């Protein structure tokens, strides 16, 4: 059973941890001033459908840590307790910047497989919302208001909304004081308050930058580090690498389509059609009709290149989403922009809902945008379909955000002696593996595991989890076979039909049956007489409730679309697309010879 990508409230998903005490290659920075008196508050709590034992709490810190006075903020955290507590902990950061770690608590508490489930018997999981996210003085902005597609189809950061949100947040907070390094010091205060001698750091995407900086600032507090989708300071300045990463990813997607008999037959001119569509946007915005997610009425909007190229790049984060790009582009090339409009809307609303967009600007406008030169923009955007569209959009937003730049020393390469395992996908349009390789030269005990074909949020094969577990237990990457997953990852099949196009051969009676079952799943229940005993056992009450809670984040169910049937002597397999307001889910239903459901897979 799988629920991935669109059903998860984070830009990155991963599981792991470790305990080890290496010598430090970096001098620890001076400690911050003392926190306010009696800053720690904790209480027992239960997390997830399994009601896992946990500790919920906050740690109060000064917003201005250097001054040690003035406004305070409460840093929220959840500790999911190990089955056999040893006072060891993993600190997990899902990325963004802006995604709250505590939002993943139920997923981790209910996990039954993967590295975390294997290792959680002896390790606590520490989830801390960075300042500005989740329950830690969140800086939430709605840059993609669902009722106004005319705004988010034209600008990633609509000018008026950015200015308004800045003014609202800046009235009570100093937005220059929410950078990576300040949040790193908050985390170390939480570690010390909970009396963890050291932390295992597991981060994805921006979380890799965050934990590399933490390792630099607090080397004596680090046991080991696991990083997925690596964005090391100095080498990776947001959003400069994204144009080149997106170009590599689309090149690889086009090659994969050429190598795929079905994709190449349906879309023999995918690469040329894509180039032609990009050229249309180079000439100016394209007007298209979209259905307003709130009013459900059609309205005309203008789609700019800035938003178009970011939609394609974001869709390539998720291999199931990337599988729709050839058909979406083919339809757009022939003048049907409906599938593209749906992709834009879903990507914009999905990313707006998973992170604190204001905090995203408070970080990137402080420690990235001020250090980008015109020569950088020219060099990194040349020869890419995205060009300078993303970087110009973010530069524009940062002018409204108006924050002070971080010290230039933040961009120094991170040096560390900690054992570090970096995992990169070859087709990652956000954090290409070249940046992990560049950072490796400064990491004495760092190792890289490359997963060919994988992207930024791929459902990685079990061998990756096994490697992480081995790394944790060995307390080192030395001797591990880091090429073991080279041929293990398989991208999802390309699709020949757009989101709203049903396949031929639909059986109305079966569709009615499956619709009733899927509707009940969305309510956290199921008719077990329809399932084989093995599948009924797999779908426990806790699993059903957790699944329903995950899918609720996608908004209202808009349609169930038949996507095909395959048969064998022992089974029949049906596929349906569940179209939600903010994402799609593929339901794959297998019937055995007795006409009972033997497998039910839901994937984003």
Q: What is the pLDDT of residues 107-153, one digit of tens each?
A: 899 888 888 888 888 889 999 999 999 999 999 999 999 999 999 99
Report the percentage of the chain scoring pLDDT > 90: 72
Q: Mean per-residue pLDDT for 161-166?
A: 98
User: Tokens in use for 35?
Assistant: 């926190």
Report pLDDT for 33: 54
Query: What are the residue ranges of helices labelled H in 233-337?
Result: 240-259, 261-266, 270-282, 305-315, 319-322, 325-333
Task: Please identify which residue in the block is written with the tokens 């001098």.
Answer: 27
- Whether 9 has a pLDDT exceeding 60, the answer reads no
- pLDDT tens digits along 13-61: 322 222 222 223 333 444 455 566 569 999 999 999 889 999 999 999 9
Helix/strand/coil percentages in the chain, nearest 5: 40, 20, 40
Nearest by Cα to 499 from 583, 436, 573, 570: 583
**214 membership: H or E segment, kind and range:** helix 206-217
Q: Name the residue ranges covered by the structural domains of the chain.
A: 508-603
Q: Mean per-residue pLDDT for 444-467?
A: 92
| Mean pLDDT, all residues of the chain | 90
**Could you tell me if 562 and 506 are in contact, meaning their C-beta atoms sit under 8 angstroms apart?**
yes
- Whether 432 has a pLDDT exceeding 50, the answer reads yes
- pLDDT tens digits along 498-543: 888 899 999 999 999 989 988 898 888 889 999 999 999 888 888 8
**Could you tell me if 124 and 89 are in contact, meaning their C-beta atoms sit under 8 angstroms apart?**
yes
Report pLDDT for 118: 86
Report pLDDT for 604: 65
CA angle in degrees (0–180, nearest 5) for 506-507-509: 145
Q: How is 495-528 classified by DSSP, letter by letter?
A: -SS-TTPPPS---HHHHHHHHHHHHHHHTT---G
- Whether 435 has a pLDDT exceeding 70, the answer reads yes
Distance separating the N- and C-terminal Cα atoms of the chain: 12
Q: How far apart are CA 140 and CA 146, in angstroms?
A: 15
Longest dimension (CA), the chain: 73
Q: How far apart are CA 357 and CA 145, in angstroms?
A: 12
- pLDDT tens digits along 577-589: 898 877 788 889 9
Give yes or no for a cis peptide into 3 (omega within 30° of 0): no
65 contacts: CB under 8 Å, gap ≥ 6: 32, 33, 177, 182, 185, 186
**Could you tell me if 427 and 414 are in contact, meaning their C-beta atoms sit under 8 angstroms apart?**
no
- pLDDT tens digits along 456-468: 988 888 999 999 9
402 contacts: CB under 8 Å, gap ≥ 6: 166, 170
- Torsion angles phi and psi, residue 576, rounded to 5: -135, 145
Q: How far apart are CA 301 and CA 408, in angstroms?
A: 41
Task: Please identify which residue in the block is written with the tokens 């984070």.
Answer: 10
User: CB count, 10 Å around CB of 135?
Assistant: 17
- Whether 7 has a pLDDT exceeding 90, the answer reads no
Report pLDDT for 285: 98
Q: How far apart are CA 169 and CA 176, in angstroms?
A: 11
Q: How far apart are CA 310 and CA 156, in angstroms?
A: 8
- pLDDT tens digits along 180-220: 999 999 999 999 999 999 999 999 999 999 999 999 999 99
- Check whether domain 508-603 has CATH 3.40.50.300, yes or no: no
**Could you tell me if 378 and 369 are in contact, meaning their C-beta atoms sit under 8 angstroms apart?**
no
Task: Please identify which residue in the block is written with the tokens 């108006």.
Answer: 402
């Amino acid at each position: 059973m799988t629920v991935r990508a669109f059903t998860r409230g984070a830009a990155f998903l991963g599981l792991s941890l470790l305990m080890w005490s290496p010598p430090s290659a970096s001098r620890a920075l001076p400690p911050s001033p003392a926190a306010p008196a009696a800053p720690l508050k904790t209480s027992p709590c239960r997390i997830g459908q399994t009601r896992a034992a946990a500790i919920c709490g906050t740690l109060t810190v000064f917003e201005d840590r250097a001054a040690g006075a003035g406004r305070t903020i409460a840093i929220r955290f959840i500790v999911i307790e190990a089955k056999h507590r040893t006072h060891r902990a993993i600190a997990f950061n899902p990325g963004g910047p802006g995604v709250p770690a505590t939002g993943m608590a139920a997923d981790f508490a209910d996990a039954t497989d993967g590295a975390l489930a294997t290792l959680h018997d002896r390790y606590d999981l520490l989830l801390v919302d960075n300042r500005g996210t989740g329950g830690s003085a969140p800086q939430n902005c709605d840059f993609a208001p669902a009722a106004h597609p005319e705004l988010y189809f034209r600008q990633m950061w609509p000018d008026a909304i950015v200015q308004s949100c800045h003014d609202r947040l800046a009235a009570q907070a100093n937005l220059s004081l929410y950078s990576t390094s300040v949040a790193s010091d908050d985390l170390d205060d939480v570690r010390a308050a909970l009396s963890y001698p050291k932390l295992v750091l597991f981060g994805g995407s921006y979380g890799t930058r965050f934990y590399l900086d933490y390792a630099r600032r607090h080397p004596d507090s680090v046991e080991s580090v696991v990083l997925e989708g690596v964005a090391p300071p100095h080498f990776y300045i947001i959003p400069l690498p994204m144009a080149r990463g997106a170009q590599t990813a689309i090149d690889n997607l086009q090659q994969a389509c050429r190598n795929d008999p079905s994709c190449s037959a349906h879309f023999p001119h995918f690469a040329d059609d894509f180039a032609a569509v990009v050229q249309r946007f180079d000439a100016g915005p394209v007007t298209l009709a979209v259905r307003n997610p709130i009013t459900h009425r059609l309205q005309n909007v203008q789609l700019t290149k800035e938003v178009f190229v970011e939609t394609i790049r974001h869709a390539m984060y998720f291999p199931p989403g990337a599988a729709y790009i050839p058909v979406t582009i083919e339809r757009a090339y022939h003048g049907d922009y409906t599938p593209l409009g749906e992709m834009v809307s879903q990507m914009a609303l999905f990313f707006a809902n998973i992170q604190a967009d204001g905090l995203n600007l408070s970080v990137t406008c402080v420690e990235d945008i001020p250090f980008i030169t015109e020569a950088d923009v020219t060099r990194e955007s040349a020869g890419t379909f995205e060009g300078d569209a993303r970087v110009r959009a973010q530069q524009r937003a940062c002018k409204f955000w108006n924050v002070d730049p971080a010290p230039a020393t933040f961009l120094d390469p991170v040096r560390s002696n900690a054992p570090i395992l970096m995992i990169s996908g070859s087709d990652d349009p956000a954090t290409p593996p070249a940046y992990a390789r560049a950072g490796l030269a400064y990491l004495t005990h760092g190792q890289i595991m490359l997963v060919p074909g994988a992207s930024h949020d791929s459902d990685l094969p079990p061998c990756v989890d096994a490697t992480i577990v081995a790394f944790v237990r060995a307390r080192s990457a030395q001797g591990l076979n880091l090429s073991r997953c080279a041929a293990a990852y398989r991208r999802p099949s390309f699709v020949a039909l757009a989101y709203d196009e049903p396949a031929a051969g639909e059986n109305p009676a079966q569709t009615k049956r499956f619709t009733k079952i899927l509707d009940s799943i969305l309510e956290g229940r199921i008719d077990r007489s329809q399932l084989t005993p093995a599948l009924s056992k797999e779908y426990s009450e806790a699993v059903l409730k957790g699944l329903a809670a995950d899918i609720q984040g996608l908004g209202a169910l808009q349609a169930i679309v038949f996507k095909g049937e395959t048969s064998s002597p022992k089974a029949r397999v049906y596929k349906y697309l569940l179209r939600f307001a903010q994402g799609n889910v593929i339901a794959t239903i297998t019937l055995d010879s007795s006409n009972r459901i033997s497998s039910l897979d839901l994937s984003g």
